[in-house]
């Protein structure tokens, strides 16, 4: 009776296989959970890096535009000065012309 019957041996093997299948299933679930966690971390890091890069680009472009605005303001100021000086130079000749025209009437 010490020797097991063929049916008992088959049942024992089935039990061992079921245990291995359950262990493998549990291990696969852990791998899937770990992979999902890593994927979420990668997505979070990518979003964080993307936001940082976008902010850096925004600040750089904002600075460039502000410099361009300042340059355009300076050019406008120079034009105003130039027109004012030209106008002031023409005041005397214009006044003389006006006086001539009015006095001829």
Alpha-carbon span 43 to 49, nearest angstrom: 10
Alpha-carbon span 38 to 32, nearest angstrom: 10
Give the HSE-up count for residue 33: Cα atoms under 13 Å, Cβ half-sphere. Answer: 6
- pTM > 0.85: yes or no: no
From first to last of its 105 residues, the chain has per-residue pLDDT tens of 568 898 999 999 999 999 999 999 999 999 999 999 999 999 999 999 999 999 999 999 999 999 999 999 999 988 999 888 888 888 888 888 888 888 876
Alpha-carbon span 45 to 51, nearest angstrom: 10
Q: Where are the domains of the chain?
A: 7-105
């Amino acid at each position: 009776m010490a020797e097991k019957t063929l049916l008992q041996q088959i049942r024992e093997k089935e039990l061992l296989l079921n245990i291995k299948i359950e262990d493998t299933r549990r291990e696969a679930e852990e791998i899937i959970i770990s992979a999902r966690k890593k994927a979420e971390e990668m997505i979070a890091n990518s979003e964080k890096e993307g936001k940082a890069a976008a902010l850096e680009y925004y600040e750089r472009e904002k600075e460039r535009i502000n410099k361009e605005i300042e340059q355009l303001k300076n050019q406008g100021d120079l034009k105003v000065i130039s027109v004012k000086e030209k106008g002031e130079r023409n005041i005397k000749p214009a006044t003389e012309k006006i006086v001539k025209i009015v006095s001829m009437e």
